[in-house]
Amino acid sequence: MNLQSYDVTDLVCNESFQQYCLGASAEVMAYWEDLARHNPTLQTNMVEAKALVLILSARQGNGYEQLQQLRDGIIEHEQLQSRLFATGETGMPVPSKPSTKKLLLYTTSIAASICLLIAAWQYFRHTPLQQNITPAIASQVYASGITPRKTVILPDGSVIILRDHSTLTLHEGFNAQHREVSLAGEAFFDVQHDAGKPFVVQTAATRVTVLGTTFNIRAYPKELSTETMLLKGKVSVTLNGGEGKHEILDQPYQSMIVGNSTSTKPLEETVKRSNSDTKKQELTWLRSRLEIENEPLEKIALKLEKWYGIPVKFEDESVKSYRYSGTFESETVVKALQALQLSYPFTFNIKNNEIVISK
Amino acid sequence: MLHDDDIRVYWNSARTGDKQALFALHSNTYFHLVRFGLKICGDDELVKDCINQLFLMLWDKRQSLPDVQQVRSYLFTCLRRQLLDELAYRSKMDAAHEQFSEEIPRKELSYEEIIINVQQDEELKQKLHLALEQLSPRQKELIRLKFFEGMSYEQIAEQTTQTIKTAYNTVYDAIKQLRKILK
């Protein structure tokens, strides 16, 4: 039977598909995601089939994602240790995503020193440590010019990719008192979670408020409309001059389009669309499919630098010759590097909006 | 599934500081640990958190970890202790949760209890309960082996002494029925 004509029941019963749902390996995930990209009908069926497989497997979770979480947790832990034992570090370590929603208290018998580390880690997590390193910045401007993509990594660890002819302005006191930015043009946002300081993006027509999530905003001043598209999480879009009226986007690929010259129009007249497949096409400016066939990290770094528009430097010569193979698609340079780390470890830091790779 | 000897090799490499070995150990034991944990408490978030914490702790204490023969059982024991401690801690916080008190020996949760328990949506819980009631005991057993225990059709056929084709067809018909009710 042809895979493309698989209906939901066929998929649920298919062993390879079951493995995909449980994240058994990177290969099986890439295989199905690729199939889905090229077959809209299959993709719709896959969504329903996956939901059923997850129910029947009692939400055992995704093995691949869980492993990523563990890796993030270890990186976070090691960064904390190096912070505690090596003071006076100048670079800003890349804050990885908090590995779990809630940190369980260690109740088992653990050496007191570890408890102390965890306590300190918890403390640092909620105290923006970067403030010491990056003092409250006066408003700062990043412009992409004719570069197709320019990656900016903010002091709070959020990653932003600017499309060509776009400008991002950090408001004075960013990360110290608030997290407010202005955007003219198009940008993709992968925002670090910080419940204490919502991340706010101001455009000519809208104001988008988030806690920690992934989304894209297209707000070129010369165009007729401003579009906000959600990828993950939840955002709230407020119309400028709309008397505080707002709309929530909480479904992947849901988007909201607002007319630029009609900011006085009530919100009801704006368009809210969901889940259409064409939406995904609109992000092709961003996603690169990186195919690596036994290449040294030095060469891969060049590719990353070119695609994401951020300088990638090496601090350690030996790392340059590490070799990798694989195919992956990542939204940000940080995610791409993390994927590489998974198969052979190295460290990377952000210093003055440059990525520095070391052993 | 990997042989216990291979898992021991990963364990011992992780003890000497090989991070990749720790990740391999995680990949090869994760689903066993989740299933084991779900049978104890039926709370998927708690189980996943505890497993993550367990591996972080192993990495932290790698230098003082013992050279154990049965790595899998060792991990099961650690996870069980962690889960029970966490549940006890929670029940102390909420005295009403009598069922979590240590004195009452708790029995393993059944597959049906687990899959209904981990769902948040009340309506879905109800529907699932109804849907599972419609299945024959044979169908239910095969669904459990396939989706919860993660066995292949080949393994199921072997265990239940039937052909692979029959095993597949039984699962297929059961899924068809489930979908009708869950829709």
Q: ipTM score here? A: 0.87
Mean pLDDT in residue range B169-183: 92
Cβ <8 Å between A53 and B147: yes
Chain A nearest-CA residue for B49: A100
**Structural contact between residues A236 and A262, judged by C-beta atoms closer than 8 angstroms:** no
pLDDT for res A243: 67
Q: How confident is the model at residue A129 (pLDDT cuts 50, 70, 90)?
A: very low
pLDDT at A290 over 70: yes
**H/E element holding A151?**
strand A149-153
pLDDT at B160 over 80: yes
pLDDT at A320 over 70: yes
Please say whether the structural domain A135-281 has been given the CATH code 2.60.120.1440: yes
**H/E element holding A116?**
helix A112-126
From B15's Cα to the closest Cα of chain A, the distance in A is 15
pLDDT at A343 over 70: yes
Chain A nearest-CA residue for B152: A15
Greatest mean pLDDT range, A160-169, A299-308, B99-108, B140-149: B140-149
Is the Cβ of B11 closer than 8 Å to some Cβ of chain A? Answer: no
pLDDT for res B75: 95
Cβ <8 Å between A59 and B85: no
Choose the closest CB to A69 out of B52, B148, B171: B52
- Higher pLDDT pick, A69 / B89: A69
The letter for the amino acid at A18 is: Q
The count of C-alpha atoms lying within 13 angstroms of the C-alpha of B179, restricted to the half-sphere facing its C-beta, is 20
Q: Tell me the residue length of chain B.
A: 183
Greatest mean pLDDT range, A138-147, A153-162, A280-289, B128-137: B128-137
A288-358 belongs to which CATH class? alpha beta
pLDDT for res B56: 92
For residue range B26-75, what is the model confidence (pLDDT) as tens digits? 989 999 999 999 998 888 989 999 999 999 999 989 999 999 989 999 99
Q: How confident is the model at residue A11 (pLDDT cuts 50, 70, 90)?
A: very high
Choose the closest CB to A104 out of B50, B115, B168: B50
pLDDT at A302 over 70: yes
pLDDT for res B76: 94
- DSSP line for B18-67: -HHHHHHHHHHHHHHHHHHHHHHH--HHHHHHHHHHHHHHHHHTGGG---
Domain ranges of chain B: 4-100, 111-182
pLDDT at A90 over 60: no
- Higher pLDDT pick, B20 / A281: B20
Q: Which residues of chain B are within 8 Å of residue A84 when distances are taken between CB atoms?
A: none
Q: What is the dihedral of CA A162, A165, A171, A177, to 10 degrees?
A: 0
* Chain B 90-109, residues with CB within 8 Å of chain A CB atoms: none
* Average pLDDT, rounded, for chain A: 76
pLDDT at B98 over 90: no
**Domains A135-281 and A288-358 belong to one CATH topology:** no
Q: How confident is the model at residue A235 (pLDDT cuts 50, 70, 90)?
A: confident
pLDDT for res A271: 60
pLDDT for res A126: 39
Choose the weakest-confidence range: A137-151, A152-166, A197-211.
Answer: A137-151
Q: How confident is the model at residue A119 (pLDDT cuts 50, 70, 90)?
A: very low
pLDDT for res B73: 92
- Higher pLDDT pick, A77 / A18: A18
Beta-ladder partners of A289: A329
What's the CATH architecture for B111-182?
Orthogonal Bundle (1.10)
pLDDT for res A293: 81
Q: Which residues of chain B are within 8 Å of residue A56 when distances are taken between CB atoms?
A: 115, 143, 146-148
From B30's Cα to the closest Cα of chain A, the distance in A is 7
Q: How confident is the model at residue A105 (pLDDT cuts 50, 70, 90)?
A: very low
Choose the closest CB to A61 out of B34, B50, B171: B34
- Higher pLDDT pick, A28 / B54: B54
Q: How confident is the model at residue A157 (pLDDT cuts 50, 70, 90)?
A: confident
CA distance A114 to A85: 14
**Domains B4-100 and B111-182 belong to one CATH topology:** no
Chain B nearest-CA residue for A100: B49
From B63's Cα to the closest Cα of chain A, the distance in A is 13
Choose the weakest-confidence range: A34-38, A305-309, A324-328, B52-56.
Answer: A324-328
pLDDT for res B120: 84
What's the CATH architecture for B4-100?
Orthogonal Bundle (1.10)
Choose the weakest-confidence range: A79-83, A187-191, B112-116.
Answer: A79-83
Domain ranges of chain A: 3-56, 78-127, 135-281, 288-358
pLDDT for res A267: 47
CA distance B37 to B82: 10
Chain B nearest-CA residue for A342: B20
- DSSP line for B130-146: HHHHHS-HHHHHHHIII
- DSSP line for A195-242: TTS-EEEE-SSEEEEESS-EEEEEE-TTSSEEEEEEEES-EEEEETTS
Chain centroid offset of residue B160 CA: 21
